[in-house]
Structure 1
Amino acid sequence: MIPYLHVPPINLGPIHIEAFGICVALGIMLAARLLSRQAEREGLDPNPLQDYALWGVGVGVVVGHLFHLFAYHPEELSKSPFQIFKVWDGLSSFGGLIGGILAAVVFFRIRKLRFRDYADSFALGVAPGWAVARIGCFAAHDHPGVRTDFFLAVNFPGGPRHDLGMYDALFLFALSGLLYALRNSGKLRGKLLPLLSLLYACGRFFFDSLRATDLSYVDARYLGLTPAQFGCFALIAFGLYGLVKWQAPAAKATPQVGAGGGVQAQAR
């Protein structure tokens, strides 16, 4: 059994930095770095991805907060009419994903870029970045599950429970390893994002079925399912469509310096 550890915040005068915020920031930085590196590896221009990062984070935070309020905890709207503007007070990771997708649709359309060319880069960056951010959820223990004697249970106050933040992080790290193994082997090129969507949706649907219902602050259910479980159906549909319909993008020619100092083109 895993002990319930409380990670104290870092106090910088009036500013209190929680472990959750640190992990989210590190996850975003890691994802942005890996996105750019993979784009360069594919012979793509990484600059649009660096510009997109601000769009994705900004829209993701806003939509993640709104999703938290209106889908998961609508009762919080009665606290104050200004609750809707407190984007730091309650975030939904699935809502953040929706925001990031919406930002990508608008951004890539404005830049007149084909998103599918960068799809593998997104998969290889988002999966490990999201895993690091989910460690913050584990540090905050804000996704308690049902009571259990499972060997990975966390000894919450009141008894051992599943900790779904930890499960999600472990699952995403495992998916990251799989995606990089496929990239290195050259398999499923151009289809890594649909694969990630399909596999993560299946895992997330199962994890959400373990969420606690016997605590005072629990997620809303609709027809017995959490909002994220409904979102998983959309991810599964996208994953199946992409795996069947998407074709590998054309290989890009990247400049290589030859032995005599001349520039040669090498297809990737």
Structure 2
Amino acid sequence: MNWNIDPVLLDLKIVKLRYYSLLFATGLFAAYFLVSKFLREKGLPNDYPDKIFIRIVISLVIGAHLVHLIFYEPSAFIHNPMRIFEIGSGLASHGGVLGALFGLWLFCHKYKESFFE
């Protein structure tokens, strides 16, 4: 049995849609709607979901990419630190979690909200 599955779901010549990208985007959209609903139920301002989402997504991607470089490609990163700016060179899920938590902390710190409530 051969499990060598092509990671490309759809090739439009200009851009290739990969399974991982589709799942990543689906997870982000689902999280946005769930967080929006949760914050509305808590009676928090309507603009909070957008502000939280922007900080979390940016921090998540940076954290996932940075942790990937540090843990999975350390020698390449040490020899060429500019790799941090290369798009598509890898993401680590545990770095994404750390980055997302950091983004949430940034939001809570700026808007004087409790991180643990």
Match in the other structure for 2:20: 20
Separation in structure 2 between the aligned mates of residue 81 and residue 39 of structure 1, nearest angstrom: 39
Which protein shows a greater Rg?
Answer: 1
| 2:67/2:92 contact within 8 Å kept | yes
Asked if residue 57 in structure 1 is aligned to residue 57 in structure 2, the reply is: yes
Q: What amino acid does structure 2 have at the position aligned with 1:50?
A: D
Separation in structure 1 between the aligned mates of residue 38 and residue 81 of structure 2, nearest angstrom: 44
Separation in structure 1 between the aligned mates of residue 12 and residue 79 of structure 2, nearest angstrom: 28
Q: How does 1:23-34 map to 2 (within 5 A)?
A: 23-34=23-34
Match in the other structure for 1:41: 41
What SS does the aligned partner of 1:9 have? strand
Q: Where in structure 1 are there 5+ consecutive unaligned residues?
A: 118-268
C-alpha RMSD over aligned residues: 2.3
Provide, for residues 140-166 of structure 1, a one-character-per-residue CA deviation record: whole Å limited to 9, x for no partner. Answer: xxxxxxxxxxxxxxxxxxxxxxxxxxx
Q: What amino acid does structure 2 have at the position aligned with 1:6?
A: I
Name the CA shift for 1:72/1:81 in 2 (closer, same or farther; >3 Å): closer
Identity of aligned residues (%): 24
Separation in structure 2 between the aligned mates of residue 78 and residue 50 of structure 1, nearest angstrom: 36
Separation in structure 2 between the aligned mates of residue 40 and residue 56 of structure 1, nearest angstrom: 18
| 1:61/1:91 contact within 8 Å kept | yes
Name the CA shift for 1:29/1:77 in 2 (closer, same or farther; >3 Å): same
Task: Quote the offset at 1:112 in angstroms.
Answer: 1.6
Provide, for residues 28-66 of structure 1, a one-character-per-residue CA deviation record: whole Å limited to 9, x for no partner. Answer: 000010011122223333531221111111111112111
Separation in structure 2 between the aligned mates of residue 49 and residue 115 of structure 1, nearest angstrom: 15
Separation in structure 2 between the aligned mates of residue 52 and residue 36 of structure 1, nearest angstrom: 10
Asked if residue 11 in structure 1 is aligned to residue 11 in structure 2, the reply is: yes
Q: How does 1:187-202 map to 2 (within 5 A)?
A: none
Name the CA shift for 1:79/1:14 in 2 (closer, same or farther; >3 Å): farther
Match in the other structure for 1:112: 112
Q: What amino acid does structure 2 have at the position aligned with 1:64?
A: A
| 1:77/1:84 contact within 8 Å kept | yes
Name the CA shift for 1:78/1:14 in 2 (closer, same or farther; >3 Å): farther
Q: TM-score, normalised by structure 1?
A: 0.39
State the number of aligned residues: 116
Q: What amino acid does structure 2 have at the position aligned with 1:97?
A: V
Separation in structure 1 between the aligned mates of residue 103 and residue 27 of structure 2, nearest angstrom: 18
Q: Which has the higher helix share?
A: 2
